[in-house]
Amino acid sequence: MQLLWHFFGREFRSRYLGSMSGLLWAVVHPALQLLMYALVFEKIFKARITGAEAHGMVAYLGVGFWAWTLFAESSARASTSVIDNAALIGKVAVPPHLLVIASVSSSAALHLVGYSAALTLLALTGSAIDPLGVLLAIPVMAMLMVWTMGFALLVAAVQVFVRDLAQVLSQLLAFWFFLTPVLYSRAMLPEFAQSLMDWNPLTYYPERLRSLILDAHYAPGWNDLTALLLALAMLGLGVLVFTRLRRHFEDFL
Amino acid sequence: MSEIAGDVLVRMQGVSKRYPLVHRNADRVRAMLRLLGGRRGLADVAVLQGIDLTVRRGESLGIIGENGAGKSTLLKVMTGVLNASEGRVEVQGSVAALLELGAGFHHEYTGRQNIATAAALMGMTGEEIRARTDEIIEYADIGRYIDEPIKHYSTGMVVRLGFAVVAARRPDLLITDEVLAVGDESFQKKCVRWIEDYLGNGGTLLLVSHSMYHVQKLCRHALWLQGGRIQGQGDVYQVTQDYLAYHERKTAAESAPEPRSADADGYRIERVALNGREGLVPLVLGEGSPLDVDVEVYSGDDRAPHLAIGLTRADGTAVYGTTSEIDAARASRSGRRRYRMRIEFDALTLLPGQYTLKLHALDPEGLRLFDTEVRELVIRGHSRELGIVRLAHRWT
């Protein structure tokens, strides 16, 4: 536990406090991001998303976007967390799962700070952010982190054996992003595609966050349960693969 | 790790370690799929085999062996850095290991940050680390560099830092792998002093070193690894001397035998007996033993030849040489075209180590060198004096 905390702190510092203005970026970055959406989508593309009219483009995008970023960025970073620390594994006795957990949780912590800042900014600039919805979004984000942790353990373990994975993963995540209704809403798709979206486990998160935070739609449904089970299943798969392979990391690093 | 009896810190039973042979990326993928399926990996090569080892509290064990003998792997398996492919490893108590130069240090981080990581890896709590950081920095004695990234450090400074953390940890078991060799003289002395003090206070040490001096100075027992197996184990002097003798034989086998002169008119060494024993097996003597060299030389023209005798250290350093011509000694005729010569040393003052005895047949004028015979000589003993020979001396 001591060691995990240490690695978490080290990772966290190196990523944020290492830069000059430190945590300030955690607030400035989301503000710039929101500003960029406002500029690009509202002013340049004059984009219209079905279902977004009531809330404004910026709020609509902002609420869903951080969930995606948390998943994608944490996974991408965590995928190399074992091989990046090859200098540790095989030299000192360090439980490798700590490296992955520290990597995921420090990325996630940063994005959670960013998300909170973005929501605060949206509320301050007049968007209708529902406070109870934000509170209820906490378990949703927790589920997302469970899912992300499982996925990260899986890719970090496989990365040791398949070195091309990092490249494949960045392509895959880019592709996956467009299959996930972050920049658009499901209602804009043709009929058959709308039901196909349910096969993407990540569809749930931006949609559910928007319904909670923007539409104040609190009632839990089957999709919440499915998402929870999927997140737990991903965690189970990640832990299974990681524990099977971890004894052999040293031989393949 | 299960419970093991009180004073045993490490117990290894039938431990082996194999590395997979992977050349292509496809092999790695196949290996992964096999491992996921719960089967053994692909073809592998064993670097450790059938190691049984028990380390008790208060023990000091030196591990010696050639490069690639598996010494480092053994320590890594023991410390849990590597997983044994077969067998059982049980470890009890706190362990601090200095396995490789700068192992566990991150090059981009400062000395201070790396101290925190290393200490955390050795199981120190955040409070302990904060409390002892200043002590560690002082011990490492690298001045203002402590807040510079490690990548700007010299090798010696990295070792200082690593050792300082270990010294602060005061583990039940200290494991070091050839790191003492890197520091400068004064730091080496500081380390050796610290280790002696640590051993004096009941500490337990496992030391890998190519320096027989360090091994003999710090360890009571030694373990000799050869090709991943235990070749010898026991008293440090016994094992280190066997090990050095092995090296001697190996070097002798590698250097091509010098061509013998078949000259009928020449002079040739026919027979050599050391302390009455013939043959090429190295002669093992205790310190201060007498040595009697008995040589028979063939003389092509039946004139009395001379004999040169020389002693060199394993690395070829000359120790002493003389000839019967210099000493004005005469060979006695022992038969037709045969002369016998004997030289006796009452008490060799050679210090423990490996020596080569070289004998050359010279012509009767003592000018031309005809034949060379080489014998190995091993001096065993517990002396910790330095150098090659003991010079007569007295403290006043």
Average pLDDT rounded to a whole number, residues B195-222: 86
pLDDT at A23 exceeding the cut of 70 = no
- Answer yes or no: do A94 and B120 touch at CB < 8 A: no
pLDDT for residue B31 = 81
Q: What burial letters (b/e) apply to B48-73, b meaning 16+ CB within 10 Å?
A: bbebebebeeebbbbbbbbeebbbbb
Q: Write the single-letter amino acid at B155.
A: T
pTM: 0.70
Other beta carbons within 10 angstroms of residue A205's beta carbon come to 26
- Residue from B259, B341, B243 nearest B297 by CA: B341
pLDDT at B49 exceeding the cut of 70 = yes
Q: Are B182 and B101 contacting, i.e. CB atoms less than 8 angstroms apart? A: yes
- Residue from B243, B360, B355 nearest B297 by CA: B360
- With beta carbons under 8 A apart, name residues in chain A contacting B117: 6, 10
* pLDDT band for position B3 (cuts 50, 70, 90): very low
Q: Which of A10, A91, A244 comes nearest B81 by C-beta?
A: A91
- Answer yes or no: do B126 and A162 touch at CB < 8 A: no
Higher pLDDT, B226 or A25: B226
Q: Which of B31, B38, B126 comes nearest A161 by C-beta?
A: B31
Closest CA in chain A for residue B98:
A92
* pLDDT band for position B6 (cuts 50, 70, 90): low
- Residue from A186, A166, A192 nearest A60 by CA: A186
Average pLDDT rounded to a whole number, residues B208-213: 82
B117 contacts chain A (CB < 8 A):
yes
Q: Write the single-letter amino acid at B353.
A: G
Question: CA of A95, closest CA in chain B: separation in Å?
Answer: 9
Residue A236 CA to residue A230 CA, distance in Å, equals: 10
- With beta carbons under 8 A apart, name residues in chain A contacting B104: 87-88, 91-92, 94
Residue B263 CA to residue B279 CA, distance in Å, equals: 23
* pLDDT band for position A110 (cuts 50, 70, 90): confident
Cα end-to-end distance, chain B, whole Å: 56
Question: CA of B36, closest CA in chain A: separation in Å?
Answer: 6
pLDDT tens-digit map of A138-194 = 999 999 999 999 999 999 999 988 888 888 999 999 999 989 998 888 888 888 888
pLDDT for residue B4 = 47
SS3 content of chain B, % helix, strand, coil (to 5): 30, 35, 35
Q: Please report the residues numbered 6 through 65 in chain B whose beta carbons come closer than 8 angstroms to any beta carbon of chain A.
A: 19-20, 22, 25, 28-29, 31-32, 35-36, 38, 41
A92 contacts chain B (CB < 8 A):
yes
- Answer yes or no: do A10 and B103 touch at CB < 8 A: no
Backbone angles phi, psi at B299, to 5 degrees: -120, 115
pLDDT at A37 exceeding the cut of 90 = no
* pLDDT band for position B98 (cuts 50, 70, 90): confident
- Answer yes or no: do B25 and A163 touch at CB < 8 A: yes
Average pLDDT value over all residues in chain B: 83
pLDDT for residue B249 = 75
Query: Is the Cα torsion angle B51, B201, B238, B241 positive or negative in sign?
Result: positive
DSSP state of B258: P
* pLDDT band for position B180 (cuts 50, 70, 90): low
Give percent of chain B with pLDDT exceeding 90: 8
Average pLDDT rounded to a whole number, residues B109-117: 85
Average pLDDT rounded to a whole number, residues B197-223: 86
A164 contacts chain B (CB < 8 A):
yes
Determine whether A191 is exposed, middle or buried from the number of CB atoms within 10 Å of its CB (0-12, 13-18, 19+): exposed
- With beta carbons under 8 A apart, name residues in chain A contacting B108: 14
pLDDT at B81 exceeding the cut of 90 = no
- With beta carbons under 8 A apart, name residues in chain B contacting A86: none
- Answer yes or no: do A93 and B83 touch at CB < 8 A: no
Say how far residue B320 (Cα) sits from the centre of its chain. 25
- Answer yes or no: do A87 and B106 touch at CB < 8 A: yes
- With beta carbons under 8 A apart, name residues in chain A contacting B97: 92-93
Q: Are A131 and A218 contacting, i.e. CB atoms less than 8 angstroms apart? A: no
ipTM beyond 0.85?
A: no
- Answer yes or no: do B41 and A248 touch at CB < 8 A: yes
pLDDT for residue A9 = 79
- Answer yes or no: do A244 and B36 touch at CB < 8 A: yes
Cα end-to-end distance, chain A, whole Å: 25
- Report the DSSP beta bridge partners of residue B175: B97, B206
pLDDT tens-digit map of A58-85 = 888 888 888 898 999 899 989 888 888 8
Question: CA of B138, closest CA in chain A: separation in Å?
Answer: 23
- With beta carbons under 8 A apart, name residues in chain B contacting A163: 25, 28
pLDDT for residue A16 = 63
- Answer yes or no: do B81 and A2 touch at CB < 8 A: no
Q: Which of A93, A250, A252 comes nearest B22 by C-beta?
A: A252
Average pLDDT value over all residues in chain A: 85
* pLDDT band for position B381 (cuts 50, 70, 90): confident
Higher pLDDT, A42 or B364: B364
- Answer yes or no: do B41 and A6 touch at CB < 8 A: no
